[in-house]
């Protein structure tokens, strides 16, 4: 099995888990490839030089599976690297919350054992695509979590004129507007009181950020809709963020958001469900009175 490993550089205290991961892969006789930046971190900072078949230096690679070692941010960066190469991703959580990277340190060996026995399921996760006629966003223009339209720094509110399938919806006066997938409903969107949507839902949620009016609320729409946006800003610019990758846009440019024509494949254990993640990560339904 050809296994690619992508990781975060902010996990010095997790080096024992990282070494256990490599040791298990070596014992399974995996063909190991490591992202070059993560490999440099392992050798230069952790003084650990695992045996590898090669280094991943660009975004084109032939793997059977990709391992994301870190938190959800690392998983999002891994998904962007994998892009549409149809490689399933397993998230090993050495970060904090971990919705996408939900395999804990204590489960590394068991999870990899299941991986090599092909005992796992694959969930296909929807992505969003940002389109502008001028190709204004210069990076990877897809998002697994959300596309955020935001004011810059401490500037005044922006106005976001929003249409669905060419029919006018509303003009949001706010600090921003989030367009989130079901996967992203437990990320930034949740922090601004957006609803939680199970990953299998065919929906998108629009959640305003600090709206000026009390009569606007998050809105769930089908993921087949086309969302068109125009932004007004006093300082003539605003911020676009795709899963945390941000660029400054000039006001007046038209933005179009649609569902992507491909999905991200996420590896999940059979004994682990989204509802279990809600209970463990968000203390879903927990009652502090119950001991």
Give the mean model confidence (pLDDT) for residues 173-182: 97
> What is the rounded distance in angstroms from the CA atom of residue 216 to the CA atom of residue 251?
23
- Report whether 191 belongs to an annotated binding site: yes
Give the mean model confidence (pLDDT) for residues 57-61: 92
Between 243 and 280, the higher pLDDT residue: 243
Q: Enumerate domains of the chain plus CATH numbers.
A: 1-118+269-280 (3.40.50.10330), 126-260 (2.60.200.30)
- Report whether 146 belongs to an annotated binding site: yes
Q: What is the pLDDT of residue 156?
A: 85
The C-alpha angle with vertex 185 and arms to 180 and 189, in degrees rounded to 5, equals 70
Of 213, 161, 203, which Cα lies nearest the Cα of 181? Answer: 203
Q: What is the pLDDT of residue 109?
A: 93
Q: What is the pLDDT of residues 202-252, one digit of tens each?
A: 999 999 999 998 889 999 999 999 999 999 998 889 999 999 999 999 988
Between 24 and 289, the higher pLDDT residue: 24
Which two structure tokens, joined as six digits, stand for 147?
């596309």
- Weakest mean pLDDT among 26-30, 161-165, 267-271: 267-271
- Report whether 190 belongs to an annotated binding site: yes
Q: What is the pLDDT of residue 33?
A: 97
Residue 15 Cα distances to 18, 100, 117, 227, angstroms? 5, 21, 26, 44
- Report whether 247 belongs to an annotated binding site: no
- Report whether 72 belongs to an annotated binding site: yes
pLDDT band at 100 (very low <50, low <70, confident <90, very high): confident
pLDDT band at 13 (very low <50, low <70, confident <90, very high): low
> What is the rounded distance in angstroms from the CA atom of residue 250 to the CA atom of residue 111?
46
Which two structure tokens, joined as six digits, stand for 217?
């609320």
- Report whether 244 belongs to an annotated binding site: no
pLDDT band at 97 (very low <50, low <70, confident <90, very high): low
Q: What is the pLDDT of residues 201-211, one digit of tens each?
A: 999 999 999 99
- Report whether 125 belongs to an annotated binding site: no
The C-alpha angle with vertex 97 and arms to 8 and 261, in degrees rounded to 5, equals 70
> What is the rounded distance in angstroms from the CA atom of residue 89 to the CA atom of residue 80?
11
pLDDT of residue 95 exceeding 80, the answer is no
Give the mean model confidence (pLDDT) for residues 77-91: 95
pLDDT band at 173 (very low <50, low <70, confident <90, very high): very high
pLDDT of residue 9 exceeding 90, the answer is no
- Report whether 133 belongs to an annotated binding site: no
pLDDT band at 265 (very low <50, low <70, confident <90, very high): very high
Q: What is the pLDDT of residue 209?
A: 95
Q: What is the mean pLDDT of the chain?
A: 91
Q: Chain centroid to CA 59: how far? A: 17
Catalytic residues: 72
pLDDT of residue 155 exceeding 80, the answer is no
pLDDT of residue 132 exceeding 80, the answer is yes
pLDDT band at 291 (very low <50, low <70, confident <90, very high): low
Buried (b) or exposed (e) across 247-256, using 16+ Cβ within 10 A? eebeeebebe
């Amino acid at each position: 099995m050809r296994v690619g490993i992508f990781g975060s550089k902010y996990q010095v205290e997790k080096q024992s888990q990282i070494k256990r991961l490599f040791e298990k892969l070596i014992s399974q006789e995996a063909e190991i490839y490591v992202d070059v930046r993560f490999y440099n971190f392992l050798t230069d900072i952790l003084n650990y030089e695992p045996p590898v078949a090669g280094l991943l230096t660009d975004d084109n690679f032939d793997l059977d599976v990709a391992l994301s070692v870190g938190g959800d941010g690392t998983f999002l960066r891994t998904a962007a690297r994998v892009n549409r190469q149809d490689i399933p991703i397993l998230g090993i959580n050495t970060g904090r919350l971990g919705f996408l990277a939900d395999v804990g340190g204590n489960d590394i060996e068991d999870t990899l054992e299941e991986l090599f026995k092909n005992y796992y399921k694959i969930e296909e996760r929807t992505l969003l695509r940002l389109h502008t006629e001028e190709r204004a966003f210069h990076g990877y223009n897809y998002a697994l979590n959300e596309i955020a339209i935001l004011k810059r720094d401490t500037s005044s509110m922006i106005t976001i004129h929003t249409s669905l399938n060419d029919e006018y919806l509303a003009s949001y006066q706010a600090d921003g507007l989030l367009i989130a997938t079901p996967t992203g409903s437990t990320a930034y969107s949740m922090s601004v009181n957006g609803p939680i949507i199970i990953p299998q839902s065919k929906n998108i949620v629009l959640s305003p950020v600090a709206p000026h009016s009390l009569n606007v609320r998050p809105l769930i729409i089908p993921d087949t809709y086309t969302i068109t946006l125009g932004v007004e800003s006093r300082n003539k610019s605003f911020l676009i963020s795709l899963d945390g990758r941000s660029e400054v846009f000039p006001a007046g440019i038209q933005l179009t958001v649609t569902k992507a024509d491909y999905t991200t494949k996420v590896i999940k254990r059979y004994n682990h469900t989204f509802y279990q993640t809600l209970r463990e990560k968000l203390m879903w339904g927990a009652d502090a009175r119950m001991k």
